[in-house]
């Protein structure tokens, strides 16, 4: 499996970008969350099936993968079925990226790949060979200063238990960089792939509005 293929049609993160406005509006703005979650589950399910097929095809092969993660180059020989999520957490001990559903439905595992949001649980590391990955660990400055989006989540109580938060913050930066944060409604629509069981959506939306301008002018995670 080469890395020159455009995997965007098969990965959960990009599936999120393709969710139709009708689906997300009905589910998250005007209707019931249950209807939206069901629709999202269906979309994510097809991505999961595609991943399962890729994994079956890969068998037990080993592949050499080179990635730049948070500015650090890594080269690893991996089982071809290793997802980026597994690589981050199990191989590299970068456990800030969380496992939620592991099926492309919750967004807890969101990272930026070449500046674009993906669900790392649905993206094989082999597909990402040569890519630049940004995780929650890569957002703060070297001196410990938080990224403006991290600071805004703190300021606006954009979390309760915090489990979804790394994915929310990374996704929020992606959302702003994609140009989909012009209004509260747009933010809610384009953040709808990141679920929060604690229902901290109000604070999350406020934080994104607060950090929007600073994030637009920040190059963390956004340059491609």
Name the site residues for ligand FES (rule: CB under 6 A): 12, 99-102, 104-109, 119, 121, 159-165, 196-198, 200
Residue 34 Cβ vs ligand FES, minimum distance, rounded to whole Å: 17
Q: Which is nearer to ligand FES, 102 or 114 (CB)?
A: 102
Residue 87 Cβ vs ligand FES, minimum distance, rounded to whole Å: 14
Residue 153 Cβ vs ligand FES, minimum distance, rounded to whole Å: 10
Q: Which is nearer to ligand FES, 121 or 126 (CB)?
A: 121
State both tokens at 84.
């980026």
Q: Which is nearer to ligand FES, 82 or 165 (CB)?
A: 165
Q: Which is nearer to ligand FES, 45 or 115 (CB)?
A: 45
Strand partners, 62: 79
Q: Which is nearer to ligand FES, 111 or 218 (CB)?
A: 111
Residue 43 Cβ vs ligand FES, minimum distance, rounded to whole Å: 11
Residue-wise DSSP of the chain: --S-S-GGGTSHHHHHHHS-HHHHIIIIIIS-HHHHHHHHHHHHHHHHHHHHHHHHHHTT-EEEEEEEETTEEEEEEEETT-BHHHIIIIIS--TTSPPSSSSSSS-TTEEEETTEEEEGGGSBGGGGTT-EEE-GGGSS-TTSPPPHHHHHHHHTT--SS-TTHHHHHHHHHHHHHTT--SSHHHHHHHTTTS--TT-THHHHHHHHHHHHHHHHT--TTT--
List Cα–Cα distances, 144 to 49, 139, 150, 151, 176, in angstroms: 40, 10, 12, 12, 22
Residue 36 Cβ vs ligand FES, minimum distance, rounded to whole Å: 15
Residue 107 Cβ vs ligand FES, minimum distance, rounded to whole Å: 5
Q: Which is nearer to ligand FES, 104 or 138 (CB)?
A: 104
Residue 70 Cβ vs ligand FES, minimum distance, rounded to whole Å: 19
Q: Which is nearer to ligand FES, 58 or 101 (CB)?
A: 101
Q: Which residue has the tokens 């690893």?
A: 76
Please name the residues in contact with 184: beta carbons below 8 A apart, sequence gap of 6 or more.
205, 209
């Amino acid at each position: 499996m080469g890395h020159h293929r455009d995997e965007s049609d098969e990965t959960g993160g990009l599936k999120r970008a393709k969710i139709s406005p009708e689906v997300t509006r009905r589910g998250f703005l005007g209707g019931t969350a249950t209807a939206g979650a069901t629709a999202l589950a269906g979309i994510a399910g097809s991505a999961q099936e595609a991943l399962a097929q890729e994994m079956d095809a890969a068998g037990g092969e080993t592949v050499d993968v080179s990635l730049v993660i948070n500015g650090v180059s890594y080269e690893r020989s991996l089982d071809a079925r290793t997802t980026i999520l597994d690589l981050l957490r199990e191989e590299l001990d970068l456990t800030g990226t969380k496992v939620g559903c592991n099926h492309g439905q919750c967004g807890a595992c969101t990272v930026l790949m070449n500046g674009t949001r993906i669900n790392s649980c649905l993206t094989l590391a082999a597909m990402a060979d040569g890519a630049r990955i940004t995780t929650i660990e890569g957002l703060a400055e070297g001196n410990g200063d938080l990224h403006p989006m991290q600071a805004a989540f703190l300021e606006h109580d954009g979390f309760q238990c915090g489990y979804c938060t790394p994915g929310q913050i990374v996704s929020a930066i992606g959302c702003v960089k994609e140009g989909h944060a012009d209004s509260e409604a747009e933010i809610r629509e384009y953040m709808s792939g990141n679920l929060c069981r604690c229902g901290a959506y109000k604070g999350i939306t406020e934080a994104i509005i607060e950090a929007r301008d600073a994030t637009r002018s920040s190059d963390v995670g956004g340059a491609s």
